[in-house]
Amino acid sequence: MLKIKGMGLDTETVADLVEEIAGKDVIELVELIKGKEHVSEFKIADKLGVTVNQVRNMLYRLYSYNLVSFIRKKDKKKGWYIYYWTFDQKKGYDLFLKIKKEKLELLKKRLENETQKSYFACPNECIRLNLENSMEYDFKCPDCGNVLDQEDNSRRVSALEREITETNRQIEKPYVEDKPKRKPRKKPVKRKPAKKKATPKRKPAKKKAVKRKPPRKKPVKKATSKSKTPKKKPKTKRKPAKRKSRSK
């Protein structure tokens, strides 16, 4: 039987439970999703090497007992829905206890019958009957007609007692929940300032004497002096000259 490690339930207990209610082929699937949350059905199919439809068939067997839950998300690129599954360990433990307690009651009844009643069996192992039924057939096998022999059931009683003890041990086991593992958040890493590399000091380059040409003198525009117009002297009125009188 495949053992499932690291679960809140006992490894043997989980394997026993899953095999009984869903089948042996589902044990490996439970091993993949145990202790995790929201595992993609495509990842499960890839790791098991089966199709997605086969994975869903296994998960639906567990889902019928409410041992798994799911969420769905739409793939933005492809447009279809992807289902993410989680195994519920607490519900698995409760179901396991229920099954084992029912089994324990049946074992106790069988043990009571084996210790308080007598049984007769066919030498050809055709049939096994208690005293009352053997009397109805006159202690003869209804199948082959051979005489029935009284059976020594001490081994059967011992086997039942061992099974009862083991079932009690499984029921009394404490349940320790193993919480689903979550990815730890990455702490922000403080980056140390990078050390500046010491650049070698460069020797100052010798400046070459450059002969400079004398700067050209820009032609200075002489300010054109405004031609001064000579001021016209005011015309003086000349007095009329006195005429000299001619002597007779």
Q: Are 92 and 17 within 8 A, CB to CB?
A: yes
- Report field, pTM of the whole predicted structure over 0.85: no
Residue 128 pLDDT > 70, yes or no? yes
The confidence band for 1, taking pLDDT boundaries of 50, 70 and 90, is very low
- Other beta carbons within 10 angstroms of residue 59's beta carbon come to 23
Lowest-confidence segment of 38-42, 126-130, 173-177, 225-229 by average pLDDT: 225-229
Residue 25 pLDDT > 70, yes or no? yes
- Mean pLDDT over 200-221 rounds to 64
Residue 63 pLDDT > 90, yes or no? yes
Burial environment of residue 40 by CB neighbours within 10 A (0 to 12, 13 to 18, 19 or more) = middle
CA distance 61 to 67: 9
- Mean pLDDT over 204-226 rounds to 62
**What pLDDT is attached to residue 163?**
93
Average pLDDT, whole number, for the chain? 79
Lowest-confidence segment of 119-123, 184-188, 225-229 by average pLDDT: 225-229
Residue 4 pLDDT > 50, yes or no? no
Residue 175 pLDDT > 70, yes or no? no
Q: Are 51 and 45 within 8 A, CB to CB?
A: yes
CA-to-CA dists, residue 191 to 81, 86, 187, 198, angstroms: 41, 38, 12, 20
**What pLDDT is attached to residue 112?**
92
In terms of DSSP H, where are the helices of the chain? 11-21, 27-33, 41-48, 52-63, 89-116, 131-136, 154-171
